[in-house]
Amino acid sequence: MSIHFACTLCGKCCRSMKLPLTTGEAEAWLLDDNELQVICEALPEMPEAVADDQRAAYRRRRAFAAHSGQLTIQVVAILAANIGGACPHLQPDLRCGIYERRPLVCRIYPAEINPFRELQTAAKACPPEAWSQERPLLRHHGELVDAHLRTLIREYRDRDAQDAERRRRLCAALGLDHAAIADEGFVVYSPSRSQWRRALAVSAEVLGPDAPAAPWHLVTNRRATLADLTTRAADIVARRATDALAGPAPAWEFLSFLADDL
């Protein structure tokens, strides 16, 4: 099916979201005094038959190796702008205040950066008229028509893969060590600006052999996952996404895609 599109400059996509950023973009985002989070998910080591799965290969490309108990895992740590209402760069006339240096994901929207996520017009913030048949072709026979857009997506994926090691050092510097299971949900950390500044400075330096990698804890709200990973000797944390928070706010929150099953 062909998809036509032209941006109407409605500004709706610049509100209430988590915006994935490259490491360089994340540094700029912090310099602008904005909020930054780390979204963590982990892929437990796969049996060989599944290890060839292309989706898993895409995740592994952007992940770093780690361990949880006796289990080898791949951790995907996404640096994300945390935008609660309107983006701090959205201007009153709905234009972007940092247009010339806006993040790659903003340039790519409404196309997808994830090759395994189908572009669903209904899932996008754009109004119906943005997708009218009179607009230029965005996608035809399953391919994006605009070569520049394809280049931007490739650039994002390449940077994402190249930055994985830096993100590993960032997680270590920030003391992050919990991740949700891929496809079950995310663990989201919200470090303070001062924690970020220190971690970015520390993680930018590679001063010889790294210290041994810190162990990670895998978080789940699913009984079957808990049983499976316990038999594989992982360090697993059972946590219902709906659990009320007791006492001081935890260092991380668990956003599950699935209903609690514990």
Specify the 3-state DSSP secondary structure of 139: strand
Report, in Å, the least distance between residue 31 CB and ligand SF4.
14
Task: Write out the residues near ligand SF4 by the rule CB under 6 A.
Answer: 7-14, 87, 89-90, 96, 98, 102-103, 106, 109-110, 125-126, 130
**Residue closer to ligand SF4 (CB basis): 123 or 201:** 123
**Residue closer to ligand SF4 (CB basis): 109 or 252:** 109
Dig out the tokens for 179 from the structure: 């991740």
Q: What's the CA dihedral at 156, 160, 163, 164 to 10 degrees?
A: 180
**Residue closer to ligand SF4 (CB basis): 30 or 106:** 106
141: left (phi over 0), alpha (psi -120 to 50) or beta: left
**Residue closer to ligand SF4 (CB basis): 44 or 103:** 103
List phi, psi (to 5°) of 167.
Answer: -70, -35
Specify the 3-state DSSP secondary structure of 83: strand
Report, in Å, the least distance between residue 66 CB and ligand SF4.
31
Report, in Å, the least distance between residue 152 CB and ligand SF4.
13
Report, in Å, the least distance between residue 186 CB and ligand SF4.
20
Please spell the DSSP secondary structure of 100-120, one letter per residue.
Answer: GG--HHHHHTTS-SSTTS---
Report, in Å, the least distance between residue 69 CB and ligand SF4.
39
Report, in Å, the least distance between residue 139 CB and ligand SF4.
15
With contact defined as beta carbons under 8 Å apart, do 189 and 49 qualify? no
**Residue closer to ligand SF4 (CB basis): 96 or 258:** 96
Report, in Å, the least distance between residue 239 CB and ligand SF4.
31
CA 124, 128, 129, 134 dihedral sign is positive
**What CA–CA distance (Å, rounded) separates 102 from 198?**
24
**Residue closer to ligand SF4 (CB basis): 87 or 180:** 87
Dig out the tokens for 43 from the structure: 């892929």
Helix axes 164-174, 147-162, angle to 10 degrees: 50
**Residue closer to ligand SF4 (CB basis): 25 or 177:** 25
Which residue has tokens 């895609």?
257
Measured at the CA of 255, the angle between CA 253 and CA 261, to 5 degrees, comes to 110
